[in-house]
Structure formats: structure tokens, C-alpha cells
């Protein structure tokens, strides 16, 4: 019964957010809630690729005396999700305790009218450190790290030292479930699911309510949504580009009866498209252009296409199947030559239905002709040249 009582109280906090700040409530609507003694306060973490809100019952009722402070803690945790703090901790390069403090300094600036617990860390908690409002987690982490290195004496009255020494009188949010799966594919899929949840939450929020969010929060939301807003109608382009060359596979299924024998399983014809997508990673391609490339690639992938990415500058750098997650880096930054990609396509043991080549066109016309159809996608400021001679060309809008 006690667990039911705290679940009711958590629901009451979320309903209050739904009234006052609906965007945060919509995000929480897609988060699993778990009452547990695994942690001593409250936390967000992951279960597989699903975001989870963990709450300690004793902390929620005994340490948080007011309803406002309970709402503040719930909002504090959803802000950690919006800022992607779960995925930014690197156990190989970060001091976990300092990172935790820096993350709390970021989110507690945006808790707003709700009453934070007395133990909550804010910018004003450290008057001896030159901290500014509105900075990033990395900025606060660097300031805290430098301050600690410069201190010559470890006075027990110093708040930062008390926090780092885990003074029991100071109860902070629990971040132990961050950074556990590092940069694995599971972590990337979890980030994709979180971006999807943020996208859904924005679409469910009244535009007037959304406009009242702090600019810094809206900026973070925009970063999550960018990859979901392609510039090109790929559904239409793919239909024109590869429909004639797509392959068919036969799948046996118990949902259908064989027309020939009148028994199960029957057969189902499935069309499949396997596209090579070449990404120009030469020095002339900016990071923002690379981001645009992968936004478009994600939209192609969303249309059910199997995509093999080919990163290339003057040579093919690496190839891999795209699985819905933008890579953390690309290899290249040399000069541009289109021939290596076209040669790779001709030599591939597994044929492609076509190739989409993202580039700025800043290279000599290729001398190699690909055996499959090629669609050239040129950046806004790029050069088309005589690429029309080799395949169809689309130029991104200005």
C-alpha cells in the first residue's frame, strides 16, 4: 500500500506540472517510474533503452516536506533527461563527484518557482568560485576542477569538499546510473528513443505553453528535433530513384494460406531496397553540413531502406550499416575524389539498388562510372559542375 501511496504522490506532482508546465509533464509521461531502495534520493537512468525515474520513498516523504519541493525534485530529474546528462558522463575522463555537482548546477537554474530542498546545489552555493548563470555542464565542470586544484588547504567548512567527501548531512540527487553503458549501440538507441520522446512531448504541448520555456531549454529541444526534420522529401525521391531496381524476397508466414496447396504457411512478397549512401568527409565539408547529411540519411532510413554508409574523401575511409544513430565522428578531412566510392560500388560483392552521394561537388568530374544509378545531393553553396552527366542531381535549398 505504501508503494501505491508514493506512486499517487508522484502522479500528483506530474499532474501539477501538466497544469503549470505541460512540456515537462509530457516528457515524464513516457518515462517508467520505479520506487526503490537502490538509491537514497531520486534519479533518472536507463532500463535497456527506456528512460526510468527512480524514487526513494523515505526521501520523498521524509526529506521533502512540502509538495513544492517534491515537484522541484521531479522537474530536476526530467531536466537531466532533457540535457542528456545520462550520456555525457565519461568514466575514463571525468571525476564522477565533480561531474554530478556540475550537472546539478545546470538543471537547478531551470527548476523555476518550485522550492528546491535545502541541500540542493546552486550557483549561489559557491560564492568563492566565479560561477556564471546559463553556462554548460562542461563549463561548470572545468571551473570546479580548476578551483579544486588551486586550493592549498582542505578546510572542512568548504562546501565543495564536503560534497566530494560525501558528507552525510548533504543529500544530493543520485547519478550512479549515468554512463554505465558508455558509447555502446544500446546507449545510442537509448538516445534515439529519448529524442523521439522529446519530439512527441513538444508536439503535444500547446505552442503558447512551449514558447514560455527558457530559451536554453528550447535550444536543447531543437537539437533533439533537428535530425527529425529533413529538407528533402525522401519518400518521393526514393520512389522515383530506386523503385524500378528494388528487389523482392519471399517470406513464409503462418498468417497466409498457400494459394497453390491451401495449407499454411503461405508466402508473402517483401520488397527490399539496399542503398549505398556516400558521405563526403573532405576538409571542405563543415560540421554543420555533415549534420545536415545525417539528418537526411536518417529520413531515408525511416522509409525502410537498408543503408550502407561510405565515408570518403580522397579514398574510402570506412563503411558501415546505418542503424538510426548518427556517428560521433567521421573519418577523412583530406581532399575530394569521387572515383574511390564508384570503384567500391563496382567491386562490392553485395550489389546496391543505387547510390546517394552527399557532397559539395568540389572535385574533378569522376572518370569511373558506377554500375548502379547515382543520385548526387549537393550542399547549399556547392557546385554541380558536370555531375548531371553522371547521374541525377539535387541541390539543397538556400
Cβ pair 357, 393 in contact under 8 A: no
Q: List all residues 6 or more positions away from 362 whose beta carbon is below 8 Å from its beta carbon.
A: 282, 284, 336, 382, 383
CATH, domain range 234-395? 3.40.50.410
CA angle 341, 379, 374 (to 5 degrees): 35
Ramachandran class of 188: left when φ > 0, alpha when ψ lies in -120 to 50, beta otherwise: alpha
Partners of 247 in the β-ladder: 272
pTM score: 0.59
CA angle 27, 33, 35 (to 5 degrees): 150
d(C-alpha 360, C-alpha 384), whole Å: 8
Cβ pair 197, 30 in contact under 8 A: yes
Domain layout of the chain by residue ranges: 2-226, 234-395
pLDDT in tens, the chain (398 residues): 455 689 999 999 999 999 999 999 999 999 999 999 988 899 998 887 788 999 999 999 999 989 999 999 999 999 999 998 888 888 778 888 889 899 999 999 999 999 999 888 899 988 888 899 989 899 999 988 888 877 655 543 466 766 666 555 555 556 777 765 444 556 777 887 888 899 889 989 999 999 999 888 888 888 777 655 566 666 677 666 655 444 544 455 565 555 555 555 655 544 457 899 999 999 999 988 998 899 889 888 887 788 999 999 999 999 999 988 888 889 999 999 999 999 999 999 888 888 999 999 999 999 999 988 899 999 988 998 888 888 888 888 75
Please tell me what DSSP assigns to residue 78. H
Cβ pair 65, 71 in contact under 8 A: no
d(C-alpha 197, C-alpha 58), whole Å: 29
The Cα-based distances of 36 to 39, 104, 258 in angstroms read 7, 22, 52
265 preceded by a cis bond (ω within 30 of 0)? yes
d(C-alpha 367, C-alpha 361), whole Å: 14
Amino acid at each position: 500500500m505504501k508503494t501505491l501511496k508514493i506512486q499517487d504522490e508522484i502522479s500528483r506532482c506530474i499532474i501539477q506540472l501538466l497544469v503549470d508546465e505541460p512540456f515537462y509533464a509530457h516528457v515524464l509521461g513516457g518515462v517508467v517510474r520505479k520506487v526503490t531502495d537502490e538509491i537514497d534520493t531520486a534519479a533518472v537512468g536507463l532500463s535497456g533503452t527506456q528512460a526510468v525515474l527512480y524514487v526513494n520513498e523515505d526521501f520523498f516523504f521524509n526529506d521533502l516536506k512540502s509538495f513544492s519541493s517534491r515537484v522541484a525534485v521531479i522537474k530536476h530529474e526530467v531536466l537531466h533527461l532533457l540535457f542528456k546528462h545520462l550520456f555525457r558522463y565519461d568514466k575514463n575522463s571525468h571525476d564522477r563527484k565533480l561531474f554530478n555537482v556540475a550537472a546539478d548546477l545546470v538543471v537547478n537554474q531551470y527548476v523555476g518557482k518550485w522550492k528546491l530542498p535545502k541541500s540542493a546545489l546552486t550557483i549561489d552555493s559557491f560564492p568563492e568560485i566565479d560561477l556564471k548563470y546559463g553556462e554548460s555542464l562542461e563549463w561548470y565542470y572545468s571551473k570546479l576542477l580548476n578551483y579544486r586544484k588551486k586550493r592549498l588547504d582542505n578546510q572542512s567548512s568548504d562546501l565543495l569538499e564536503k560534497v566530494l567527501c560525501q558528507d552525510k548531512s548533504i543529500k544530493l540527487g543520485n547519478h550512479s546510473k549515468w554512463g554505465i553503458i558508455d558509447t555502446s549501440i544500446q546507449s545510442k538507441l537509448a538516445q534515439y528513443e529519448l529524442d523521439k520522446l522529446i519530439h512527441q512531448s513538444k508536439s503535444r504541448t500547446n505552442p503558447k505553453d512551449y514558447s514560455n520555456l527558457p530559451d536554453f531549454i528550447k535550444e536543447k529541444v531543437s537539437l533533439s528535433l533537428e535530425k527529425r526534420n529533413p529538407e528533402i522529401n525522401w519518400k518521393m525521391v526514393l520512389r522515383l530513384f530506386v523503385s524500378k531496381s528494388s528487389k523482392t524476397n519471399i517470406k513464409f508466414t503462418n498468417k497466409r494460406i498457400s494459394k497453390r496447396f491451401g495449407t499454411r504457411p503461405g508466402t508473402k512478397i517483401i520488397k527490399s531496397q539496399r542503398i549505398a549512401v556516400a558521405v563526403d568527409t573532405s576538409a571542405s565539408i563543415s560540421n554543420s553540413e555533415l549534420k545536415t547529411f545525417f539528418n537526411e540519411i536518417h529520413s531515408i532510413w525511416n522509409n525502410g531502406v537498408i543503408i550502407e554508409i561510405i565515408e570518403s574523401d580522397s579514398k574510402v575511409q570506412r563503411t558501415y550499416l546505418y542503424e538510426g544513430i548518427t556517428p560521433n565522428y567521421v573519418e577523412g578531412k583530406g581532399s575530394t575524389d569521387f572515383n574511390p566510392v564508384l570503384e567500391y560500388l563496382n567491386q562490392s560483392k553485395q550489389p546496391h539498388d543505387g547510390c546517394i552521394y552527399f557532397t559539395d561537388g568540389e572535385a574533378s568530374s569522376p572518370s569511373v562510372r558506377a554500375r548502379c544509378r547515382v543520385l548526387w545531393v549537393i550542399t547549399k553553396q556547392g557546385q554541380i559542375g558536370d555531375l548531371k552527366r553522371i547521374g541525377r542531381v539535387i541541390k539543397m535549398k538556400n
